[in-house]
C-alpha cells in the first residue's frame, strides 16, 4: 500500500480527513488575517518571542497585506489541539514543536528532536542542505499541512528534579514530564511519564503531581520559576540536543497565497529559526549562573543513567522502523548527522576544547 494512503486511513493519520472543512481566512481592511494557534502560554520566554517575531515579520514583509494573529494556548484551542485546529481549518497556522504530534505519526519527532538526535548545527544542516525540508513537506502533505522550522532552542536541559538521581533505578516510578519519543524512553525505564503544556508544569511540581520535569533551558526555566520548586538541575540531557520549533500552515491556505507571499512565509520562518537560536544561546549562560548563585544544585547524570537512556532510545526508535515514512526520515537524518558530526567533531569540537584549555592557562 502507498505510504500516504496508509497514513490517511490509519489511526495515526485519521485527523487528515478533517481538512475538507477548511474555513476561509478572515479579510481585514483589504488585507488578510491569518489566525495562528500556539502550544505556548502568552509571554513565555523564548518561545513566545519566536511567535511574535514571525507575526511581526509577515506584516512587515507583506506591507500589511498579510497579518498574523497569534493565539496563546487555551485562547482558541488547547495547546495540544493546535495541530488538529489547523488540519480542520479552525485556524490557519500553528506554532509549536512537532514532537507533540507523534500521536499523528511518530516521524513528526524528527523535525523537533529524537533521543540521541541532532545538535542545532546538525539539525540546520540536515534540514536546509541534506533533504530534511523536503521530507518535512512530504510528511505535512499527508495531513494537509505546509510545515517549516520556525525556531531553535539549542541544547535543552536534562531536567529539574525534586530529589537527586544517582542511578538508572531512581527513574523507576518517577513522575516525570517529558513529551515526544524521549518520554517513551523514560517510560521504558519505569518512569510514570506525563505530557503537560508548559503553562501547567509549575503547578504540577508544586503539588507533587510531578517529581521532575524537563522544559527548555536555564533562561526559560528560570522565567517559569522551576528553581522555586526543584533543587536539582541537570543541564545535559539525551532527548533534545538541538530541538527545532515549527510553524505549520493549512496547506490549502498556503496554496491560496501568491508566490511572493509563500516565499515570504518561507523566508520569515528560516530567519526566525536562526534568530531564536541566537536568543536562547545568548540568554542561557547568564541564566545558569544566576541559578547557581541562587542555590540550584547543578549535577550530571551518571554513566549508567546515560547507558539506560541509550538502550531505551534504540528500542523506542527501532519499534517504528517498519513504517516506510518513519524509516525514510530516520535514515536521512542519521546519515546527515553522521556526516556532519564527522567534520564538526574533528574541527569545531576539537577547537573549542583546545581553546578552553589554552585560555584557562593564560
Query: pLDDT tens string for the chain (362 positions)?
Result: 344 444 444 434 444 433 334 444 444 456 899 999 999 999 999 999 999 999 999 999 999 999 999 999 999 999 999 999 999 999 999 999 999 999 999 999 999 999 999 999 999 999 999 999 999 999 999 999 999 999 999 999 999 999 999 999 999 999 999 999 999 999 999 999 999 999 999 999 999 999 999 999 999 999 999 999 999 999 999 999 999 999 999 999 999 999 999 999 999 999 999 999 999 999 999 999 999 999 999 999 999 999 999 999 999 999 999 999 999 999 999 999 999 999 999 999 999 999 999 999 98
The separation between CA 145 and the C-alpha centre of its own chain, rounded to angstroms, equals: 17
Number of domains in the chain: 1
CATH code for the domain of 34 = 3.40.190.170
Question: For residues 324-353, b (16+ Cβ closer than 10 Å) or e, as one string?
Answer: ebbebbbebbbebbeebbeebeeeeeeeee
Q: Considering the entire predicted model, what is its pTM?
A: 0.89
Residue 59 lies in a domain: yes
CA angle 96, 210, 82 (to 5 degrees): 20
Residue 165 lies in a domain: no
Residues 268, 274, 275, 279, Cα dihedral to 10°: 150
Residue 105 lies in a domain: yes
The residue segments making up the domain with residue 57 are: 3-150+241-283
Integer Rg of the chain from CA: 20
Residue 18 lies in a domain: yes
Residue 290 lies in a domain: no
d(CA 24, CA 184): 38
Residues 101, 107, 108, 109, Cα dihedral to 10°: 90
What are the Cα distances from residue 237, in Å, to 6, 158, 302, 305? 34, 4, 12, 11
Residue 301 lies in a domain: no
The pLDDT value recorded for residue 139 is: 98
Residue 325 lies in a domain: no
CA angle 327, 328, 329 (to 5 degrees): 90
Residue 246 lies in a domain: yes
Amino acid at each position: 500500500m502507498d505510504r500516504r494512503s496508509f497514513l490517511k486511513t490509519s489511526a495515526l493519520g485519521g485527523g487528515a480527513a478533517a481538512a475538507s472543512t477548511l474555513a476561509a481566512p478572515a479579510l481585514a481592511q483589504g488585507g488578510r488575517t491569518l489566525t495562528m494557534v500556539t502550544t505556548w502560554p502568552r509571554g513565555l520566554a523564548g518561545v513566545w518571542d519566536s511567535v511574535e517575531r514571525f507575526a511581526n515579520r509577515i506584516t512587515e514583509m507583506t506591507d500589511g497585506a498579510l497579518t498574523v494573529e497569534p493565539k496563546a494556548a487555551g485562547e482558541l484551542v488547547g495547546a495540544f489541539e493546535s495541530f488538529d485546529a489547523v488540519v480542520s481549518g479552525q485556524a490557519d497556522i500553528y506554532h509549536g514543536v512537532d514532537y507533540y504530534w507523534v500521536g499523528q505519526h511518530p516521524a513528526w519527532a524528527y523535525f523537533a528532536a529524537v533521543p540521541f538526535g541532532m545538535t542545532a548545527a546538525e539539525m540546520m544542516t540536515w534540514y536546509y542542505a541534506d533533504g530534511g525540508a523536503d521530507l518535512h513537506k512530504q510528511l505535512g502533505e499527508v495531513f494537509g499541512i505546509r510545515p517549516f522550522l520556525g525556531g531553535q532552542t539549542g541544547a535543552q536541559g536534562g531536567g529539574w528534579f525534586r530529589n537527586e538521581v544517582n542511578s538508572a533505578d531512581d527513574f523507576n516510578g518517577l513522575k516525570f514530564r517529558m513529551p515526544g519519543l524521549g518520554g517513551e524512553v523514560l517510560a521504558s525505564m519505569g518512569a510514570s511519564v506525563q505530557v503537560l503544556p508548559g503553562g501547567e508544569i509549575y503547578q504540577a511540581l508544586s503539588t507533587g503531581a510531578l517529581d521532575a520535569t524537563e522544559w527548555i533551558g536555564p533562561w526559560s526555566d528560570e522565567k517559569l520559576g522551576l528553581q522555586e520548586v526543584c533543587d536539582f538541575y541537570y543541564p545535559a540531557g539525551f532527548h533534545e540536543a538541538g530541538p527545532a520549533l515549527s510553524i505549520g500552515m493549512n496547506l490549502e491556505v498556503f496554496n491560496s497565497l501568491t508566490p511572493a507571499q509563500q516565499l515570504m512565509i518561507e523566508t520569515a520562518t528560516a530567519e526566525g529559526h536562526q534568530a531564536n537560536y541566537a536568543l536562547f544561546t545568548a540568554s542561557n549562560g547568564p541564566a545558569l549562573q544566576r541559578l547557581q548563585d541562587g542555590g540550584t544544585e547543578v549535577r550530571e547524570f551518571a554513566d549508567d543513567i546515560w547507558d539506560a537512556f541509550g538502550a531505551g532510545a534504540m528500542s523506542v526508535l527501532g519499534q517504528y522502523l517498519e513504517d516506510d515514512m518513519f524509516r525514510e526520515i530516520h535514515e536521512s537524518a542519521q546519515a546527515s548527522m553522521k556526516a556532519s558530526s564527522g567534520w564538526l567533531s574533528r574541527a569545531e569540537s576539537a577547537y573549542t576544547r583546545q581553546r578552553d584549555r589554552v585560555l584557562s592557562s593564560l
